[in-house]
Amino acid sequence: MNQTHSVKQKTHQFLIILLPILVTQLTLFSMNFFDTVMSGHASARDLAGVAIGSSIWSPVFTGLNGILLSLSPIVSQLVGAKQNNEVPFKVIQGIYLAVAIASAVILCGTFLLDPILNGMSLETQVRQIAHDYLIALAFGIVPLFIYTVLRCFMDALGQTRVSMFIILLSLPINVGLNYLLIFGKWGFPRLGGVGAGYATAITYWCIMFISFAVIARVKPFSDYRVFSRWFRLSLSAWKEQLKIGVPIGFAIFFETSIFAAVTLLMSGYDTATIAAHQAALNFASFLYMVPMSISMALTIAVGFEVGAKRSKDARQYSFLGVGIALMMSVVCAIALILFNEQVAGFYTTDPTVLELTKQFLIYAIFFQLSDAIATPIQGALRGYKDVNSAFLVALISYWVLGLPIGYLLANYQAFGAFGYWIGLISGLAFGAIFLMGRLLRIQRRHSAPTPTGQVR
């Protein structure tokens, strides 16, 4: 990243970082989308098995993967402070930590997978597909976590276009392997939904090796000579990353797992209501890629400015990111109002499900408006290495406030299934207000003069 002065320059710099991240996140979302859709064309049971497997894996992955995201603010602050010689050590330790976390996931899965699946009321074939899908996916957990570390390093240097191109390259690889392994084309075995698991695992190995090659050979990454020396494992370096990463991981886990909890609580409603809820939630997840990408870009931009001790610039980037997120959310809200029926029509042709989906999508508007404030602020706070507040807010806003409010409205008022959405919106709105207050406080602390008379 370069130092910028005017708001126009900052906007240009921020968009250079943001747009590739947004494309990357949308592409990652598309990989899951193609896994689900292509498995559905194999059979309804394959679709159900992959959906169950994904619902178990997603909260675990996003939470643990969030721990590794701590490398972004660490590296961006080092680069901002011109301490580039310390970067290789941090990246290598991040790789070691990624392997340790991935190994722990695989070990825990060995003992917990069967009890979890046995505790669910599933058809025998659906249960077997979900089990085998997750086993297949497990072969790609180690490279996936290592790739996350490598991507954090690349993104922290502001080179988000590179990680974008790597992910864009992985999409046709994943779709092609899905075609071969799900449907048994060109002499490959027909594995159904389980084939999607193997295809995804192989894709993760591909993007990891591509990332290694890029960092070793392409400037500016090669200037850091990250792989010229494999340092000894350092528990103190792990402690630093875990101190920042664990709260990030828990915050993401609390946020993603709440939707799985709501889906389980809604299992008492009829099939049409559940289907409409899932359709609207899928589209809301798609819209969420916008504030989530802005959040990741803010972590890089704010972390760089904090490392360079430019508190005014860090503050300007924070509000610029929130402003862009709000502007884009308003545009999405207007589009969703105007094209409500068309969006619902992407998911279903059933008249009952269509009408319910349209109603859920109206609630999704308010959901993503709150996300436009809360999610970018979390990214800005990570840039300041302030992560515990976001963790506490996620716990309180979703689980202490949102879910109980939703349960009361759904079961003791006339809102029905929509009550759960109102509860989540209420919790998220509280979180947005609290996080904004926390951000202003952190900014004042960093703007306060030190005993020497300098601004931090």
CA angle 93, 97, 100 (to 5 degrees): 140
pLDDT tens digits for 363-406?
Answer: 888 888 888 888 899 888 888 877 788 778 888 888 888 889 98
pLDDT confidence band for 5 (50 / 70 / 90): low
DSSP string spanning 421-444?
HHHHHHHHHHHHHHHHHHHHHHHH
What is the mean pLDDT of the segment spanning 35-51? 71
Average pLDDT over residues 434-440: 88
Q: pTM (2 decimals)? A: 0.76
Task: Average the pLDDT over 13-24 and give the result.
Answer: 84
Assign 44 a pLDDT band (cuts: 50, 70, 90): low
pLDDT at 139: 92
Segment 349-359 shows an average pLDDT of 81
Asked whether the beta carbons of 190 and 183 are under 8 A apart, the reply is yes
Q: Can you tell me the distance from the alpha carbon of 322 to that of 294, in angstroms, rounded to the nearest whole number?
A: 8
Among residues 72, 223, 88, 83, the alpha carbon closest in space to that of 151 is found at 72
DSSP assigned state of 384? T
- The pLDDT value recorded for residue 413 is 81
- Mean of the per-residue pLDDT values of the chain: 82
Contact 148, 204 (CB under 8 A): no
**pLDDT for 334 beyond 60:** yes
Contact 366, 394 (CB under 8 A): no
pLDDT above 90 covers a percentage of the chain that reads: 11
Q: How many residues does the chain have?
A: 456
pLDDT band at 198; cut points 50, 70, 90 = very high
